[in-house]
Amino acid sequence: MTSTVFCVGGDLEVRRLGFGAMHLPTEPGPARDASLAVARRAVELGVTLIDTAYLYGGGANEELLTEALHPCPEGLLITTKVGVARSDSSGEWRLDGRPAVLREQVEQALRRLGVERIELLQLLRIDPETPLADQVGTLRDLRAEGKIGRIGLSEVTVGELNQAREIVEIASVQNRYSLLDREHEPVLAACEAAGIAFLPWRPVAWGKSGAKAEVASVATELDATPTQVALAWLLGHSPVILPIPGTARIDHLEEDLVAECLEVTPVHRDRLDRLTEVV
């Protein structure tokens, strides 16, 4: 039977099927009120892993989660990401992994989340203009200072992951991955071999799974939705996969979490395993 829990970093137990907060509107008004309700409902339903980032609204998404959930219930992990900044001249986002920037963004995240330590802090991307050792080394130093509990990476290659692991323990990797998009299968394999949590972003290919006739057929046969099938496939594909589907609707949230109980038969899984398409 597929395990429903995973210990991030070997010691922090979370429910494998988490929630991605990126799609939650943060502007004042009814949409924000609905976002608060979705975040609270996720926790009510037993979600213990919620993913956010400074990039999502320049910290507004983190503030939304704090308003909805602070003080966080025991056992709830809110993981956030740093390593991007807005250009002063154009206002556009760009990668920025300079040590001073990472330090400042971690301090801001601590304030916005209302915590003294971020239990899992992930680097949004490797900044090609800053040595990887400087970026990961800064996070290692912040961990030593007690401001970070565990360190994760995002959108990395196997080589970058190995290079980072020579500097500090890596607890998680967050790469794009789904039933229809397995470009990063080698990275997943490396994570599985090392016991590193793999958090696929865009885990249901932006809802495109249902457009595949084979996925739709399996969903019909299992009396499920294509999204549920895609999530159940991920949970069964590797024990280190922690999907973080996102939605701004409570009914979709509730449907997503049912995937944890969906029994995908070996025959159905074989049919799904043969599907792959980079999207």
Half-sphere exposure of 242 (CA within 13 A, CB side): 29
In whole angstroms, give the CA distance from residue 82 to residue 58: 10
Asked if residues 66 and 52 have their Cβ atoms less than 8 Å apart, the reply is no
In whole angstroms, give the CA distance from residue 75 to residue 49: 9
Asked if residues 225 and 219 have their Cβ atoms less than 8 Å apart, the reply is yes
Structure tokens at 174: 């967050």
In whole angstroms, give the CA distance from residue 180 to residue 247: 19
Asked if residues 68 and 94 have their Cβ atoms less than 8 Å apart, the reply is no
Whether 54 is a known active-site residue: answer: no
What are the DSSP calls for 38-77, one per residue? HHHHHHHTT--EEE--TTTTTTHHHHHHHHHHPSPPTT-E
Q: Which of 56, 198, 201, 233 is the catalytic position? A: 56
Report the catalytic residues.
Answer: 56
